Amino acid sequence: MDYIERGTKSYKQTALAFFAAGFNTFAILYVVQPILPDLTEYYGVTPTAASLSLSVTTFTLAISMLIFGSISEAVGRKNIMIVSMLTASILCILTAFSPTFGSLIVMRALQGVALAGLPSIAMAYLGEEIHPRSLPGAMGLYISGNALGAVFGRVLAGVAAGLWGWQFGLIGVGVVSLIATFIFWYALSPSKHFVKREFNVKDLFKSLTEHLKNPLLLILFLMGFLLLGTNVSLYNYVSFVLIEDFNISQTIVSWVYMIFLVGVLSSMISGNLVYRYGKVMMLYTGIIVAVAGLIIVLIPSVWTIVAGLILFTFGFFIAHSLTSGWVGNIAHSNKAQASSLYLFFYYTGSSVGGTLAGVFWMQSGWLGVSLMNISFLILCLTLFMVFLYLLRRRIWYFK
């Protein structure tokens, strides 16, 4: 069937293309997180309002992802992904010139729509074009690009903001993302195994509603909502704490986001641990470790905050990878739509949690944010217990 196999030139080019794509998407998505204090000061808005610059992007991304995947079934994969990356990169640069906070929010909302064209399609393309035995490696490089892009976007934006101003951070990330877009366009081959299907809104809606009627899937979706809501709210406000309470410069604070590289390590380690101890035990462990990290960040010291962030991040990535992986096991059919719904709840959780934490920040500061996050994870742990109870009683859902 002429699939792309590991070791070939086509495989290397495809892997490079999707590494660049993941880098582009997540660098732009999270670029504003380290500069939230700058936006607060520059536009004269509250930290809660400033957090909307990330929340609106993840929310429009969540909604748009439900649509773009189905559109690509009718019109093809590569062109949508290229337009998505190019548009998001240009909008990222233009955002630096936003005259008002309202215009910045509009630009960030549009970026969410543009960015949705890649993650909703990337895995479909890889699944169609890469040989099954070579697929895990290609997926791994794409996910690595996601992680490195998320770290790079945060660090570059924060360092540039500290040295020259937050506008240069956005411009820098936008320019690098443009380069990644051209690498993607040049390296990726057109689809060979894509089969065009008619876009049917009714069938899409029916598939989505059927998944929502499955209590096991709904619990997994809500767990994803709570997990990313906790992650984003924690990292949204840690920069405020380190800058305001410990008088650390923006340039130095930005390097805190390197902690996200712990996610790559935890993903590698958890694979072996799951094989040894099982998914249930490791998901429990991931959530409990994350809660322990949230407790430690309450100790008023820079080093304990950093240690707590590392512990939380390690546990978060274990919990998220296992929760998202379980969606594919539980879904009877239309697994792509089930995954899209999980990502919808996941990124909606980012929007809700990131903004809701601002309310707690205004009322109770870092303590309020941390207690909100601990409550989120305790609820997540409770939902997982309910999930296991239902799974035992309705075993036919598990396939």
**pLDDT on residue 73:** 67
Q: Within 13 Å, how many C-alpha atoms sit on residue 76's CB side?
A: 9
Mean pLDDT (the chain) is: 86
**pLDDT on residue 110:** 97
Domains 8-199 and 201-399 share a fold: yes
Q: Enter the pTM of the model.
A: 0.85
Residue 77: closest CA among 197, 176, 257, 250? 197
Stretch 73-93: mean pLDDT: 87
- 152 to each of 35, 53, 55, 165, 225, how far by Cα in Å? 14, 18, 19, 17, 24
**pLDDT on residue 399:** 39
For residue 141, the one-letter residue type is L
**pLDDT on residue 310:** 95
Domain ranges in the chain are 8-199, 201-399
The tokens describing 276, both together, are 């040894």
**pLDDT on residue 130:** 79
Asked if 192 and 370 count as a contact pair (C-beta separation under 8 A), the reply is: no
**pLDDT on residue 153:** 85
Residues in the chain: 399
Residue 286: closest CA among 254, 324, 329? 324
- DSSP code for 297: T
Asked if 115 and 61 count as a contact pair (C-beta separation under 8 A), the reply is: yes
**Phi and psi, residue 4, nearest 5°:** -80, 125
**pLDDT on residue 339:** 76
The CATH fold of domain 201-399: Growth Hormone; Chain: A; (1.20.1250)
**pLDDT on residue 396:** 45
Asked if 327 and 220 count as a contact pair (C-beta separation under 8 A), the reply is: yes
Task: Tell me the angle at which helices 36-43 and 101-115 cross, rounded to the nearest 10 degrees.
Answer: 150
- 115 to each of 195, 245, 286, how far by Cα in Å? 24, 35, 29
Stretch 162-182: mean pLDDT: 93
Q: Is 3 exposed, middle or buried (0-12, 13-18, 19+ CB in 10 A)?
A: middle
Q: Does residue 44 come out as left (phi exceeding 0), alpha (psi in the -120 to 50 range) or beta? A: left
Stretch 330-358: mean pLDDT: 84
Report the 10 Å Cβ neighbour count for 380: 25
Asked if 167 and 97 count as a contact pair (C-beta separation under 8 A), the reply is: yes
Stretch 208-212: mean pLDDT: 79
Whole-angstrom Cα distance, residue 334 to residue 343? 15
Kindly tell me if the per-residue pLDDT of 39 is higher than 60: yes
- For 257, residues 6+ apart whose C-beta sits below 8 A from its C-beta are 33, 34, 150, 151, 154, 155, 158, 235
**pLDDT on residue 262:** 83
**pLDDT on residue 200:** 64
Whole-angstrom Cα distance, residue 384 to residue 141? 30
Summarize pLDDT for 212-271 with one digit per residue, the tens: 888 999 999 999 999 999 999 999 999 999 998 899 988 888 899 999 888 777 766 776
CATH architecture for segment(s) 8-199:
Up-down Bundle (1.20)
Confidence label for 387 from pLDDT (cuts 50, 70 and 90)? very high
**pLDDT on residue 131:** 76
For residue 195, the one-letter residue type is V
Q: What are the start-end ranges of the E strands in 114-206? A: none
**pLDDT on residue 397:** 45
Kindly tell me if the per-residue pLDDT of 71 is higher than 90: no
Confidence label for 293 from pLDDT (cuts 50, 70 and 90)? very high
Stretch 152-175: mean pLDDT: 91
Asked if 357 and 236 count as a contact pair (C-beta separation under 8 A), the reply is: yes
DSSP assignment of 167-186: HHHHHHHHHHHHHHHHHHHH
Confidence label for 197 from pLDDT (cuts 50, 70 and 90)? low
Q: What does the buried/exposed string (b/e) look like for 225-261 if buried means 16 or more CB atoms within 10 Å of the residue's CB?
A: bbbbbbbbbbbbbbbbbbbeeeeeebeebbebbebbe
